[in-house]
Amino acid sequence: MKRPLTLTRVHRRAWLPRYGSACLVHLLALSFALAGPLTAAAASTSVAAEALSRLKGMDLEANPALKTAVLRVVETTRGTAQFVELVRDFKLPGQEPALLDYALQHPSESSATEAIRMVLNLPQPTLIQEALKGARIAETVQLLGSANDRRALPLLEELVLSPKASAAIRYKAVRALARSREGASLLLRHAAENHLPSELKATASEELSRAPWPEIQEQSAKLLRPAGNPADALPPLAELLRRRGDPKNGERVFFAPQANCGGCHQVKARGIDYGPRLTEIGVKLGKDALYAALLDPNAGISFGYETWQLETKDGEEATGLIASETEQEIALKMPGGIVTRYPKSNLAKREKLKTSTMPQGLALTLRPQELVDLVEYLAGLGKPAL
């Protein structure tokens, strides 16, 4: 069985770039024929899927041979990221249950976000409503948050306001809503009208105070911040710089959910790759520059990490970093590291914001000593241990 597979590889390299789609269809047929019906296994599938990815956008209904080949590859890729791509590229109808299944199995992956958006495309949200009643409700809520899709908002809103959902799920739904500007505004509206259940206010305040949109932060401070600042007033910078910190505790603070620095930064292999890597930040920035970076992220935004706001023609908004851009599409990376692709033909507006996606008020949620510990930890990164 080795030989046919090798042959297919050779064909792919040598022919694909030069020959037209008819040839690709034959190649697909060939790759299956050679591999045999029982061994249309991993290697040949990925070859076929790659060949297919070059045919995307073709009208399957006008080309029955291609349609048969595509459906066959789709079956063999079920449960993988390739499956999601094929369904998207060929606009295959009726795959939503399998897409949802895939997304629930891999809720933290970018392809899951893509899958859930396709499920949200259905005229009725029944599939997702079912999932919200099932055993994977937590994953479903997480996906609805990372989908960054306004059609997810009413589903999340219902959970937040429903006395039937468990507390853990409602917290998650608040966090999911706070990820988009529209969702955040919705939370604020409920807070203003006194509909937001009181046990959710602290979570909402915590999330919204670190949202990247200045007007949301302001309103949240007015509506939701409990009397008195949770962090005691911060001593002056000179005093902070004089204090010694405990780098071990600083590391704990860095990765703890409260400040969640690790949700956007990596130190060595730990944390999420969204903002700049901080593995050697102690060599680049002294303590005073570190305090400045933490207390006023908008003052100096690192090159390549500018915040972009995209608006689609159907009025959806997304905020994040541009991960890559081609003539056809923009890949936007959101906090948490998830990448979503937006076809340029569907964009109404793109705007570079003056604010960093690193939240302005974040360091103020820490106690002064925690902040000192955190800076001590960062200042030591990349320096040889003494």
Among 175, 190, 265, 333, binds ligand HEC (CB under 6 A): 265
Of 155, 174, 290, 332, the one binding ligand HEC (CB under 6 A) is 290
* Distance between CA atoms of residues 302 and 170, nearest Å: 35
**Amino acid at site 70:** V
Residue 107 lies near ligand HEC (rule: CB under 6 A): no
By CB atoms closer than 10 A (0-12, 13-18, 19+), residue 313 is exposed
368 binds ligand HEC (CB under 6 A): no
Binding ligand HEC (rule: CB under 6 A), the pick from 40, 49, 204, 374 is 374
For Cα atoms 312, 317, 318, give the angle at the middle one, nearest 5 degrees: 110
Does position 358 bind ligand HEC by CB under 6 A?
A: yes
Residue 148 and residue 174: Cα distance in Å, rounded? 13
Shortest CB 382 distance to ligand HEC, Å: 11
Listed ranges 71-79, 107-115, 146-154, 287-295: which one lies at the site for ligand HEC (CB under 6 A) = 287-295
Nearest to 45 by CA among 95, 93, 81: 81
Q: Which residue has the tokens 């495309």?
A: 121
Q: Does 361 participate in binding ligand HEC (rule CB under 6 A)?
A: no
Nearest CB to ligand HEC, comparing residues 187 and 253 = 253
Q: What angle do CA 114, 150, 138 make, to 5 degrees?
A: 65
Q: Return the residue of 259, 267, 310, 339 that touches ligand HEC, per CB under 6 A.
A: 259
Interatomic CA distance for residues 244 and 233, integer angstroms: 18
260 to 27, 138, 234, 355: CA distances (angstroms): 49, 20, 20, 19
Is 128:100 a contact under the CB 8 Å cutoff?
yes
Smaller CB separation from ligand HEC, 118 or 261: 261
138 versus 323: smaller Cβ distance to ligand HEC = 323
Q: Which of residues 295-324 bind ligand HEC (CB under 6 A)?
A: 297, 301-302, 305
Size of the site for ligand HEC (CB under 6 A): 28
| Contact footprint for ligand HEC (CB under 6 A) | 254, 259-261, 263-265, 274-276, 278, 281, 284, 290, 293-294, 297, 301-302, 305, 335, 356-359, 362-363, 374
